[in-house]
Structures are given as C-alpha cells and as structure tokens.
Structure 1
Amino acid sequence: MDAPRAIGTFVAWDYVVFAGMLLVSAAIGVYYALAGGGQKTSEDFLMGGRSMTAVPVALSLSASFMSAVTVLGTPSEVYRFGAIFSIFAVTYFFVVVVSAEVFLPVFYRLGITSTYEYLELRFNKYVRLCGTVLFIFQTILYTGIVIYAPALALTQVTGFDLWGAVVATGVVCTFYCTLGGLKAVVWTDVFQVGIMVAGFATVIIRAAVIQGGINTILSDAYNGGRLNFWNFNPNPLQRHTFWTIIIGGSFTWTSIYGVNQSQVQRYISCKSRFQAKMSLYINLVGLWAILTCSVFCGLALYSRYKDCDPWMAKKVSALDQLMPYLVLDILQDYPGLPGLFVACAYSGTLSTVSSSINALAAVTVEDLIKPHFRSLSERSLSWISQGMSVLYGALCIGMAALASLMGALLQAALSIFGMIGGPLLGMFSLGILVPFANSIGAFVGLMAGFSMSLWVGIGAHLYPPLPERTLPLHLATYGCNSSYNGTNLMTTTEMPLSTSAFQIHNVERTPLMDNWYSLSYLYFSTIGTLVTFFVGAFISLPTGGRKQNLDRKFILTKEDFLSNFDMFTKKKRALSYKSHPMEDGGTDNPAFNHIELNFTDQSNKINGTRL
C-alpha cells in the first residue's frame, strides 16, 4: 500500500465540479418558481400542492438525513469509537415502521400542513403554541450546526474564509427554497442524493485501491478493535452499546421521522396515503445505504492512518476534519474528485437546510399567522411564506456562529434533537395513543419532560463524561516521521473530543456528574419522551381526561392498521382515505374548524371517522 504523503489542494477542476452542483441546485429552484405559473398559493409553496409521489419524496427524506453532519461526523465517529455505530441499521427499521404505522395515518387523515395543528385539534391552542416554539428553536439551532459543518470542510480543503463559506451555504439554500417551495426542495434533494452517493463511492473505491483491497481495510479495522459490533453492556452510562443505540436511538430518530415538521411535511405532501407510506419504506433502503457508506469510510480512515493519526499529530484541529483530509490525501492525483467530495458534503447541507427553512416557514404561516389573520388571501400567504423563508435563512446563518462553539458535530446535533425532540415526541404520542389524555396533562407532561431532558443535556455538555464512559479507541502516531508534514491548512491547536467553549474543566467530579450527567446522549430523547408521556397520562386522569368527548379521528385506531390491506379487498377505499376533503387547492384547513366539531359529529362519522 502507498505510504502517506503531503496532501493536495484544490485545483481548477475541483472548483468547476463544486460550482456546477450549486448552479444546478439553483436552477431547479428557478424552474419550480416558473413552472405551472409559480407558487400561487401557500399550499403550492409549502406542500407542493399535495401531489408528490413516493420515490422523489423518499430520496428527499434520505438526502435530508445525510447532511454534512453525516458525511463528516459519522466516519470520524467510527474512526474514534468503532463500527458499533452500524447497529443504527436496526434502529432505522423500528423508526420507519413506527412513523409509517402510528403517526402517518393520523396526520395524513387530518389533511394538516403543520404537524402542530394536530396539537390544537387534539388539545388546545396553547399546547400547539408550545410545540411550535420548541420546534422553531430546535430547528434553527440544528440548522446552524448543519451550515457550519461543510464550511469547516471547505476551509480545511480549500483555504476559503470560514464565515464566507457559512454565508454562501445559507444564501444558496435560501435562494432556491424561497423561489421554488417544497417541490424545489424535493427535486434538488433528488439531484443532491446522486452527488452524495458519487462522493462517498469515489472515496471508498480509491481508499480500497490504495490500501490494497477491502479485505485489508477490514483486517486493519479488526486488529485495531474497530469491529466492535456486539457490546451488550446494559449500563446506560456507556456512550454507545447495543442497547443505547437500539433504545435511545429509536426514540431520538422517531422524534425526527415521526413528528418533526421537516420530515412529516414531505411525506404528507404525497397524493395518497399509500404513496406516503411507500416513501418512508423506500427511504429506509436509502438510510441503510448511507449508513453502510459512512461506516466503511470510517474504517478506511483508520486503515489509512492507523500508524499516524492526523488529529494527534495536529495535522487537523478537529476529528470532523478527517474526511476532507483523507480526500485530499488519496484523491490529489485526480483533479475534480476532491471537488466532488466537497460537493457531496455541501449537498447534504443544502438538502437539510432547505427542508428546515421550508418547514420553519410552514409552521410560522400555519401556526402563528393564519390563526390571527384569517382574512389574508392565498396569494398573500404565499408571499408571506416566501418572506419567512428569507428570514429563517438569515437566522440559520447567524445560528451557525453558535454552532461553531459546540464541539463534535454528530453528538451535538443528536443531543439537540434528543433534548427538544424527545418531549415533543412524548406529547404527540400522548395525544395519538392515550384517549383520555387532555390539554392539562399534555402541557404539564411537556414541561416536565423538557425540564428533565434539558437538565441532563446541558449538564452533560458542561461536565462531559470521562473516557471510561465514552470508550474511545486507541490512536497512534509512531508511524509519523519528520518528512511527513502534510499541508497544514488548519493551524489551530489540537481540540479534545467533544470539546466546547461552554465546558467547565478542572472541577472535582461529583456523583451527579459521574452518573446523571454521564448518561449516554442517545438517552436524552428517551427521558424526555417517557417523562412527558407518563406524567401527561397521570395528570390527565384527575383533571377530567375521562370525561372528554373525543373524536376518534384524532387517535390511532385498529382501522388504521387494517386499512393497509385495503388494496387486497376494497380498492375504492384506498382512493378516498383522507377524511378531510381539500377544497380549492387545499385551503380548507381543519385547524380553524375545530370549534365546530361538536356540531358536526354525525358528519364526521360519515366522512371518515370510521374508515
């Protein structure tokens, strides 16, 4: 195999490939801004006219999953902690099944645009407002991380100004998202999936050639302890074990796929419930492919640098910079291919950020503007939606500055989803699965769950767990020699794992720090979900939960499961599943009709309560 040498730099062809990806993405936005007369209504802009089909939506869901956090963070995670991360393949299966069979039927039946409309229909407007505010906060913060990640890669491989790259990322996303709406988001995602797969494949193929074959990479990984798949230690304080990934990971990712507006908005934009479910199951195949590629890239990283770790040798300042470093090392003789990888990381960002911006615009229009300004025309709402896209694009760029202080990207991103997404998942689960849950229980449960997950999450960030909890694997530098200096584009000092500007060092460890704050970050979501769910159910019982007259279309019923078999019995039923008819392009919003439910019980029974 080849010996390490000085890494390369960007050349003209790399810039051409990278710029080409940006231009095509922007052109798709322009096309959907003009096609069919543009975005005439907020329904067109936010939901694609509810006419999407399964395959492009599935690819869009996968593209949003594979953000730059995945492209850069997962390989470095495997490099540092081993391939146990691949157990997430099992987690993704559970997540998709629960999302498709528990949450999707209820959301699709109601014909909603914002998932938080459900909270008003099921509970009240104050619970809906709480959910909306938490979602907006969570999404802006997460999107800041996603914007910052590829900017970090760009500065590593090209010498670009870091904040110039951050601003460029946000501007391009905001441009095509604002022009083309959800259709532009979905179809740019489809294009970007191709770029991301090509980028990953290029790295894997070239690494296999240089290292002497896939067997060599796997042998090096085995000898280095990286093939640590089966750690069945039940200790919840261990960062990654089989149980933390299966249990904690399932709660974390269900909060994303099951109830998060960014994901739900796309699959309920499908033209039928069957297409919506298919989009989730096809997306599962994409998740498995992405996970396989990113894990193998991490093993290739270890095989290449097992004797001379660039992080400890201070060739890079953070673990998240290892992938761009590898790319410039092994692809320097192939002009354009380093640019393809950076386009791969950048595509992940564009897909995730555009989805977030579109979702933020949707919840703002549906949850904060429509209920207070009901006289606005659809054309006005469409313009407001586009204005919200511009506003949130600017806010996400600003939030990237805070993300730069949060340390390791992958863990920071999943921690945010856990701390905020967990309580939201608990509240939606309470509404859909517990018929006697009421608004008082939902609100108290949400506050309790959010307080608990925030307590453990912030505590873990301020007082990070010790190495015996995180179990980092051995890295070596004995193979480095004085002649191998690399190209030191990043001149800052070495950054310890998961470091942060907010961490508190040199303090005496207490039992609280060594136990509660050392809980695996994947359990943040689990705690938030379970506390919200059980506190909400308990409080609902003495506060009149059993006395409420609840319409069955707001909860999961056995008919929702049995309707999966409609295609084998009564085909006509599958064509008219939605109980809430969409009139005049979908302007008949159920969130504004809940006051009249008591007067239309009989009509509801006829139109879809019993399916």
Structure 2
Amino acid sequence: MKSFSAWDYVVFAALFVISSGIGVFFAIKERKKATSGEFLVGGRQMSFGPVALSLTASFMSAVTVLGSPAEVYRFGASFIFFFIAYFFVVTFTSELFIPVFYRSGITSTYEYLQLRFNKPVRMAATVIYIVQTILYTGVVVYAPALALNQVTGFDLWGSVFATGIVCTFYCTLGGLKAVVWTDAFQMVVMVAGFLTVLIQGTAQAGGFYNVWERAKNGSRLHIFDFDVDPLRRHTFWTISVGGTFTWLGIYGVNQSTIQRCISCKTEKQAKLALYFNLLGLWIILFCSVFSGLIMYSYFKDCDPWTSGIISAPDQLMPYFVMEIFEMMPGLPGLFVASAFSGTLSTVAASINALATVTFEDFVKSCFPHLSEKMSTWISKGLCLLFGIMCTSMAVLASLMGGVVQAALSIHGMCGGPMLGLFSLGLIFPFVNWKGALGGLITGITLSFWVGIGAFIYPAPDSKTLPLPLSTDQCVQSNMTMTIPPETSNRPVLAETWYSLSYLYFSTMGCLGCIAAGIIISFITGLQNGKDINPLLIRPICNIFCFWSKKCKTLCWCGVQHDSETEQDYLENGSAWKQGAEYALQNGLRQGTLTHDPGFDPKNKSYSNMAPESQKITYL
C-alpha cells in the first residue's frame, strides 16, 4: 500500500473546497430569490452548456471511473458498444420524453402520471423512485471511498461520511444551480484525471502500438460477439439492446435528468443539452475503455487481482494509478479527485431530485397553500434528510459486489418497470389507470424476481468467467484467485432465468410492464381518448411524419391531436401550465385543457367575460 504525498492531499482537498465554495456562492447570490422554484429547478432559466456537463458528470460517476476500466481489463473491450446504447437513449429522451415533460410545465416527473392516469399511480411510482435512488446513491458513495482506502489507507467509512457531508452541504445551500455548476467543474476534473492516466499509462506501457498488440494477443479486442444467448454477460446484443433499456430508464424518465432538462430556458435548449451530453458520454466511455486496455498491457504478466495483491477488481484502477504515478506527486491526488468528482455530482443531483419529488408529490399534495418561504425551507430540510439517508446506504453497497454490475442492476430492476409505465402513458393512449398500475406491479415483480435470484444464485462460471490473466512474473504468485465450484443442487431456474445477463433486468421489467398494462386495459375497458389532453400523448408514429393522416389518427386512439388545444398551448403555454398546477394542487385529474384569456394565474380564477367553451375543464 502506497500513501499520498502532501501535494496529493492539496489537489484532493481543493476539490472539496471549490465544490463547497460553489454552493456558498449560489446561496449568497440567490438569497433574494428565495423560492422553491429557484431552489429546485433554477427558475427554469438554465442554459444548455452547464446542463449538458452536469448530465454527463452525474451519470458517469465513480462507478465509471473505477468500475468500467476494471470491466474492460477482465472481460474485454466489448464495453465500447455502449456508444450505441447511449445514442438511442439520448435520441429517444430528447424526441419522445422531453417534449411532453417540458410542455406540461411539471416540476416532478411523476406529476405527469397524475395528469395522464391518477394520483395512486403517481404515488406508487414516486415511492419506487425514492427507493431506487437511495440504493443507487449508496453504491456511488461507497466506490470512491474504497479507492481512497486502497491508495492511502484512510478509514473507509470516514471517507464515506466526509463525501456525504460535502455533497449535502452545497446541495442544501445552493439548490439546483449549485448542483449544475458544481457538476460542470467536476466534469472537467474527471476528464483531466482520465487524461493523465491515458498519457502516463501509455508511456509506461511503451506506446500505443504496444498497448494495442498486447490487448489483441490477450483477447481483449475480440469484441464482435453476436451470440444471442441472453445468459451471456456481455455480448453485442446484451450491451446494445439491454444497455439501451437500462440507460433509457436512467435518462428518459429519471427525475434527476428530467429536472435539469426542464430547468432550461426553452425546449430547444433542453434538447441541445442532451445532444451535447451525448458527446460527453462518448468521450468518457472511450477514456474508460482505453484505460482498461492500458491497465491490461501494464499488468499483462502480473495480475494484481489473481495474485492476491489486491482483494477486489474494483481496486485495480487506483492500484494502477499509484504504480504509474509513484514518482509524480499530485497526480494520484488528481485521479482520486476525479473519482470523487463523479460521486459528488451524482450524489448531489440525486439529493436534489429526491427533495424535489418528495416536496412536489407529497408535501404540496398535503399542504397546497404553503408560503414560498416555508416551501424553500422545507426543500432545504428534505435535501439534508436525503443526504443523510444516501450516505448511510453506502454501508449496504459494500455487500453488493462489483460496483458496475451492482449499480446497473439496481437501475435495471427499478428503472425498467418505470420506463414501461411512462411508455404506457405516452405511446398507448388507450391504456387506463388500472392497466398502468397493474403493469407497474408486474414489471417490478419480474425484474426483482430475476435480480434477487441472480444475487442468490450467481450465473455459472461459463457465462461470467473473466478472460485469461497471468501471474507468471509476480514476485509472490502463490496467492491465487479461487473460483468456487458449481454446485449440483442449484434449482432449475438458476441455470436459466436467474442466469440472465444483468443488462436485461431492465428489459424484462419494461416489456413486462407494457404487456401487462395493455392486457389489463383491454380487460377492464379502454381509456376514452377524448378525455386525454393531446399534450400528454406522443405515439411513436409522431416520429415518422411521412405516415398517412389516417394511420396517425388510428394510433392516437381518439385523442384530439389536431385540435386547437395543441396549437393553443404552443402560443399561450403559461395559462396551460397554471391550469395544470391548479389541477394538481387541488387533487384533480386533468382532462380537456384549453387556453382561457380570462384565466388569472394569481387568483386561480376566470374573468366573467371568458367564454364557457374556452375554460379549463377537469374530470
């Protein structure tokens, strides 16, 4: 075990000081705008640049910095196929989900579910999201703490709590603006940390050609595996298809993502943020994959994991960094700062999102007439509460194995059914609230059944065994990794259902939710399309504008998609938003909603001169 130099501590401490400083800056700067809207969604005045950097930093967390290179080191560079998944995820999010969420004027993503279905569906989805996010955040708090413990010997849990305290501090003080701008700074730190590893690692390995040849000879570049077997851990199909479903559950309908997109000034800015974020995702993906190949080239003849030098694959990257930067004070500190940057951004975004959905979906529903001052204080208190809860959940993360698989499994088991639920609302106008709730329960049951089963009965070694690793040149190679023998008393499902690739957990949950929702809706009576506001529906045929009008009408299932309502919103969106807010605050389900020039947003009332036909109608 090597230790930090004084310069390493300086670089590492600077990350925490600057991050906290940004929170203090926005707390002072925005003190005269003390409203819950400013605190939770930045007054909806953010530009696409910092939002794009924030989105990339939040989801390319320490799980990526530490886990992804270790995955490539052990299983090969097939991880690069995630670039396909990222492309489809960003495209679907920007063209399918964002237009509906942005135009609805919602703050919590789950407000949409009440507008489209009813309040019980909204509450159920909110509870699932809160559980999912707390579990996931526990993993990303634990990961960099493990790295710090490995390279410096610092107390593991002391690091966990220090991380949680700093995140909670600047998130509670500065709100969403502090989260976004701190993320932008931390994204720069992450890229800088990766670049130093790429440059120095390549030099230590003898150049790019040597890295490539060694990776090729070690089978790390055999990435074109088109085996359709869903039990295989990583193939082209599991990564591109399963990865798309997994990350679409994270991006498309996740409060943390949507909250930052709807904080943008315009819908166009929100879409630009997502597409620029795609470039960031590709850059970080390339950096992590090539870091894994460099690490394999460096340890080709002496694998520190199988030789017993380190105790877990997630410690490979920090051990590698301490090896190549042994004579360069400050650079190990930069790498660990980059790992912590990912964690700080992810945790802060999660805390802010959790506070938002709790305030909007529970607090405002119970107390609709809170003053702005009280709303802001409650929002800050919720940030503090969830900061404590997320930090505490890191203890559980230490029992969940590899950080990448653990993190994506959590998102898959919860995010897949949630993706299915929102897809039912947006794409299938005929689905009713009973189908939505039944589909959600079915999807959650399926995904947790396979996820928990896979945790209890890990997949057979033939499906998950790493590529060959050598210890021939190790000074002490008598400590080798032992692979537990496969037992013969495994249940039948353990060889099939429970051995499903973890990237398909989300797919099963999503498709199960959609199928069950459609079937239950047909059994219980289809939703009348005339009762649904067209702005809440976005059938997939909208993307293919060359389809005939008759086909579009059929897909809309009776929803008045060509009515004046849709065009009226685009011209007079503020009245629509105010009417939607009034409906939500008063526990009403929104039906046909048209612009009323006589609607007074301040008093939530109509002028006597407004024609009856123009008023907002509620069901």
Q: Same fold (TM over 0.5)?
A: yes
Partners of 1:250 and 1:579 in 2: CA distance: 36
Equivalence for 1:554: 536
8 and 595 in structure 1: CA distance in 2 versus 1, 3 angstrom threshold: closer
Partners of 1:301 and 1:210 in 2: CA distance: 10
Q: Does 1:195 align with 2:167?
A: no
Q: Secondary structure of 1:517's match?
A: helix
Paired amino acid for 1:539: I
1:235-384 aligned at under 5 Å gives the runs: 235-384=229-378
Q: Secondary structure of 1:355's match?
A: helix
Equivalence for 1:538: 519
Equivalence for 1:567: none
Q: Secondary structure of 1:473's match?
A: coil
Q: Does 1:220 align with 2:217?
A: no
Contact 1:317 1:494 survives alignment (8 Å): no
Partners of 2:33 and 2:486 in 1: CA distance: 52
Paired amino acid for 1:351: S
1:477-492 aligned at under 5 Å gives the runs: 477-482=471-476
> How far does the alpha carbon of each residue in 1:297-343 deviate from its partner, in whole angstroms, 9 at most, with x for none?
10011001111110111111110011110110000111100000000
303 and 452 in structure 1: CA distance in 2 versus 1, 3 angstrom threshold: same
584 and 115 in structure 1: CA distance in 2 versus 1, 3 angstrom threshold: closer
Deviates more, 1:403-412 or 1:597-606: 597-606
Deviation at 1:21?
A: 1.0
Deviation at 1:550?
A: 1.4
Partners of 2:567 and 2:259 in 1: CA distance: 21
Partners of 1:94 and 1:402 in 2: CA distance: 32
Contact 1:92 1:253 survives alignment (8 Å): yes
Partners of 2:389 and 2:269 in 1: CA distance: 34
Deviation at 1:378?
A: 1.5
Partners of 1:295 and 1:40 in 2: CA distance: 44
Q: Does 1:515 align with 2:496?
A: yes
Equivalence for 1:99: 93
Q: Does 1:595 align with 2:588?
A: yes
Paired amino acid for 1:58: A
Contact 1:177 1:358 survives alignment (8 Å): yes
Q: Secondary structure of 1:541's match?
A: helix
Deviation at 1:534?
A: 1.2
Deviation at 1:511?
A: 2.4
Equivalence for 1:69: 63
Equivalence for 2:553: none
Deviates more, 1:244-253 or 1:583-592: 583-592
Equivalence for 2:602: none
200 and 585 in structure 1: CA distance in 2 versus 1, 3 angstrom threshold: farther
Equivalence for 1:170: 164
Contact 2:139 2:397 survives alignment (8 Å): yes
Partners of 1:424 and 1:583 in 2: CA distance: 26
Equivalence for 2:610: none
Deviation at 1:510?
A: 3.0
Q: Secondary structure of 1:233's match?
A: coil
Deviation at 1:416?
A: 0.4
> How far does the alpha carbon of each residue in 1:61-119 deviate from its partner, in whole angstroms, 9 at most, with x for none?
00011110110000000000000000000110000000111111100010111101111
5+ residue gaps, structure 1 = 1-6, 486-492, 564-572
User: Please, what is the CA RMSD of the aligned residues?
Assistant: 2.7
Contact 2:179 2:349 survives alignment (8 Å): yes
Partners of 1:280 and 1:599 in 2: CA distance: 31
Paired amino acid for 2:473: G
> How far does the alpha carbon of each residue in 1:347-398 deviate from its partner, in whole angstroms, 9 at most, with x for none?
0000000000000000000001001101211111111010000000000111
Equivalence for 1:570: none
Contact 2:426 2:539 survives alignment (8 Å): no
Contact 1:273 1:577 survives alignment (8 Å): no
Contact 1:39 1:180 survives alignment (8 Å): no
Partners of 1:425 and 1:226 in 2: CA distance: 33
Contact 2:198 2:290 survives alignment (8 Å): yes
Equivalence for 1:461: 455
Partners of 2:42 and 2:540 in 1: CA distance: 30
Partners of 2:165 and 2:480 in 1: CA distance: 31
33 and 511 in structure 1: CA distance in 2 versus 1, 3 angstrom threshold: same
596 and 167 in structure 1: CA distance in 2 versus 1, 3 angstrom threshold: closer
Q: Does 1:44 align with 2:38?
A: yes
Deviates more, 1:122-131 or 1:537-546: 537-546
Deviation at 1:37?
A: 2.4
Deviation at 1:591?
A: 2.6
Q: Does 1:396 align with 2:390?
A: yes
Equivalence for 1:475: 469
Partners of 1:580 and 1:464 in 2: CA distance: 52
Deviation at 1:9?
A: 2.2
Q: Pick from 141, 146, 157: which aligns with 2:135?
A: 141
Paired amino acid for 1:554: L
Equivalence for 2:150: 156
TM-score w.r.t. the length of structure 2 is 0.89
Q: Secondary structure of 1:531's match?
A: helix
Contact 1:449 1:528 survives alignment (8 Å): yes
Deviates more, 1:472-481 or 1:573-582: 573-582
Partners of 1:364 and 1:354 in 2: CA distance: 15
Contact 1:39 1:181 survives alignment (8 Å): no
> How far does the alpha carbon of each residue in 1:15-56 deviate from its partner, in whole angstroms, 9 at most, with x for none?
000001110000000001011325511111110000011111
Partners of 1:398 and 1:448 in 2: CA distance: 30
Deviation at 1:601?
A: 4.8
Structure 1 segments, 4+ long, off by >3 Å, are 493-497, 504-507, 557-563, 573-580, 582-590, 596-609
149 and 213 in structure 1: CA distance in 2 versus 1, 3 angstrom threshold: same
Contact 2:246 2:416 survives alignment (8 Å): yes
Partners of 2:170 and 2:146 in 1: CA distance: 23
Contact 1:28 1:176 survives alignment (8 Å): yes
Contact 1:579 1:608 survives alignment (8 Å): no
Contact 1:78 1:226 survives alignment (8 Å): yes
411 and 584 in structure 1: CA distance in 2 versus 1, 3 angstrom threshold: closer
Deviation at 1:583?
A: 10
Partners of 1:578 and 1:270 in 2: CA distance: 18
TM-score w.r.t. the length of structure 1 is 0.90
Q: Pick from 416, 420, 439: which aligns with 2:414?
A: 420
Partners of 2:178 and 2:544 in 1: CA distance: 35
Deviation at 1:449?
A: 0.8
Partners of 1:353 and 1:225 in 2: CA distance: 36
Partners of 1:222 and 1:49 in 2: CA distance: 51
Partners of 2:616 and 2:572 in 1: CA distance: 4
Partners of 2:540 and 2:508 in 1: CA distance: 28
Q: Secondary structure of 1:311's match?
A: coil
Equivalence for 1:11: 5
17 and 127 in structure 1: CA distance in 2 versus 1, 3 angstrom threshold: same
Partners of 1:370 and 1:608 in 2: CA distance: 22
Contact 1:426 1:530 survives alignment (8 Å): yes
5+ residue gaps, structure 2 = 546-565, 598-612
Paired amino acid for 1:261: Q
Partners of 1:37 and 1:496 in 2: CA distance: 58
26 and 126 in structure 1: CA distance in 2 versus 1, 3 angstrom threshold: same
Deviation at 1:246?
A: 1.1
Partners of 1:474 and 1:163 in 2: CA distance: 34
Equivalence for 2:548: none
546 and 395 in structure 1: CA distance in 2 versus 1, 3 angstrom threshold: closer
Deviates more, 1:464-473 or 1:409-418: 464-473
Q: Which has the higher contact order (CA 8 A, sep 6+)?
A: 1
Q: Pick from 73, 77, 90: which aligns with 1:83?
A: 77
Deviation at 1:228?
A: 1.9
Q: Secondary structure of 1:136's match?
A: helix
